Structures are given as C-alpha cells and as structure tokens.
C-alpha cells in the first residue's frame, strides 16, 4: 500500500508566553488531503497552535514543516480563518473575498471566477457591494470563509469558524466545506469545541490535553459519507470522544 506524503509535520513544538508554558512538546503529522479536527478544552492553546503554525507567533522550540520545508506563508498557499471577526470594514463583501487573490497576484480572469464561485457558495452574491458594518454576524463569518476559500489553499486552517452561526447555516456550511475539501483536495485543520461537528467533518480527530498542552490521542474516523448523526456508529464515536474529553 502506498503511504500518503505527510503535508504537515510538527516536531517538538513548544510555545511559552514568558513563564506560561502553553504548548508542551507537540508531535504529529497530517497527511496530504486529510481533514483533521482538533478538539480541546477552553484556553488550552488551540489558537496559539494555529498562530504558531502560520508563523504569526514564533515557536519557543520545535519545527513545523509543510511539504517537507519550514512553513512559510509567503511561498505556501495557506488560508487561515480566525476565531475573531476579521473582515476588513473598509472593503465591500466582494473586495474582501478578493483580498487574498490580490495579494497572491492571481490573474484577473481566474480571480473573478473564484470570487463569483465563493460568493455563490456562501450565499452573498446579492450582498457583494455591502460593507461589513451593514452585515449580520453570520454574514461576516461567511465573508471570512469565502475569502479563505477563494485562494484555493493547499492548507486550510479554521479556528472554530462556525461557533457563532445558527444551526441551519452551520449544517449548510459544513456540507459545503466537505464538498470543497473533496473537490480541491485541500488539507484541513479544523478547530472546534463541538464534538458532533468534529465527528461529522473529520477523517481524524486530535484530542488535546489541558494546559500545558500536548496531544492526548488521535482517533481515526472512517464513517462513510454522507454521515448520519443518528446512526449507531456515529453516536458511538461521538461518545468515545466525549469520554476522552471527560478525563482531563
């Protein structure tokens, strides 16, 4: 059997803020095209982990490799959906979605097509000329999602992106995410505190410990898609993850 190439390799990743040890020697790999969900207690350092992975924070120790070389957002096509609202208030919805494409100097025709596609998927085509101050919270989050997808990233990082959305929209965007992931073959790291969401989306679930944080365990999730949240297998895996979390 052919082994998939490791997309992300994390070696001995340690992050301290002064004396506060947040990430304590994290080690793991993510395979090309994999969908990894990361769950862990509040304040354990999930955001710190993604910020270190994108070099927004300098790790205290350890390496992070993407495609076998130290991660570098300037040369590697990464998108990061932040936990807090991050759409630019001075740009319209459409200009926000186009932002990453402009930074990456994507040719106009391709950029136009990507923007249209993403506006359509998140249902904001009619609101393309609105400014963020005119949008609801859930629409703002859709802008951030569309902006992240528009660049067709090879590595997509999402930090509790659907936490603030109402349940219908969450289900819809979860399915859209799976569609996009299948279509583009993107590697996804998805942080959530919602265990059902993790079981619904992931191929693997990484459970983190309390601070100082290390990897508690990584579970495989081979449930067939489309997944049925009421099936016995689904419930079993959900309960298993819940139990693991109870132990911290």
Ligand X SMILES: Nc1ncnc2c1ncn2[C@@H]1O[C@H](COP(=O)(O)OP(=O)(O)OP(=O)(O)O)[C@@H](O)[C@H]1O
Interaction pattern, residues 41-70, with ligand X; x per rule: CB under 6 A? -xxxxxxx----------------------
How near is the Cβ of 116 to other proteins at its closest, in Å?
A: 19
How near is the Cβ of 49 to other proteins at its closest, in Å?
A: 14
- Three-state DSSP class for residue 22: strand
Out of 2, 19, 58, 84, the residue judged to bind other proteins by CB under 8 A:
84
- Tallying the residues shown for the chain, one arrives at 248
Q: What is the distance, to the nearest Å, from the Cα of residue 98 to the centroid of all Cα atoms in its chain? A: 19
Out of 11, 31, 60, 131, the residue judged to bind other proteins by CB under 8 A:
131
Interaction pattern, residues 30-49, with Mg ion; x per rule: CB under 5 A? -----------------x--
- Cβ(187)–Cβ(154) below 8 Å: yes
Q: Does residue 70 touch other proteins according to CB under 8 A?
A: no
- Three-state DSSP class for residue 102: helix
How near is the Cβ of 225 to ligand X at its closest, in Å?
A: 27
Residue 134 or 242 with smaller CB distance to other proteins: 134
C-alpha–C-alpha distance, residues 81 and 247, integer Å: 29
Q: DSSP string covering 59-92, please?
A: -SEEEEEETTEE--TTTS-EEEE-SS----TTS-
C-alpha–C-alpha distance, residues 81 and 132, integer Å: 16
Binding site for ligand X (CB under 6 A): 17, 22, 42-48, 83
């Amino acid at each position: 059997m052919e082994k998939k190439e490791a997309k992300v390799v994390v070696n001995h990743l340690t992050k301290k803020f002064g004396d506060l040890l947040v990430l304590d020697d994290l080690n793991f790999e993510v395979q090309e095209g994999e969908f990894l969900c990361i769950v862990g207690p509040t304040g354990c350092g999930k955001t710190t982990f993604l910020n270190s992975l994108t070099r927004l924070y300098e790790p205290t120790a350890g390496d992070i490799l993407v495609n076998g070389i130290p991660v570098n957002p300037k040369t590697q096509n990464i998108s990061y959906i932040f936990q807090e609202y991050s759409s630019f208030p001075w740009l319209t919805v459409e200009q926000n979605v186009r932002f990453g494409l402009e930074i990456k100097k994507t040719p106009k025709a391709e950029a136009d097509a990507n923007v249209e596609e993403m506006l359509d998927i998140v249902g904001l085509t009619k609101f393309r000329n609105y400014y963020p101050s005119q949008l609801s919270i859930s629409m703002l989050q859709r802008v951030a999602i569309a902006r992240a997808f528009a660049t067709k990233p090879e590595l997509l990082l999402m930090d509790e992106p659907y936490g603030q959305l109402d349940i219908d929209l969450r289900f819809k965007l979860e399915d859209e995410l799976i569609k996009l992931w299948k279509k583009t073959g993107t590697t996804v790291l998805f942080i959530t505190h919602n265990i059902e969401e993790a079981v619904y989306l992931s191929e693997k679930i990484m459970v983190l410990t309390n601070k100082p944080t290390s990897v508690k365990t990584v579970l495989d999730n081979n449930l067939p898609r489309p997944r049925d949240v009421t099936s016995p297998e689904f419930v079993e895996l959900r309960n298993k993850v819940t139990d693991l979390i109870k132990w911290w």
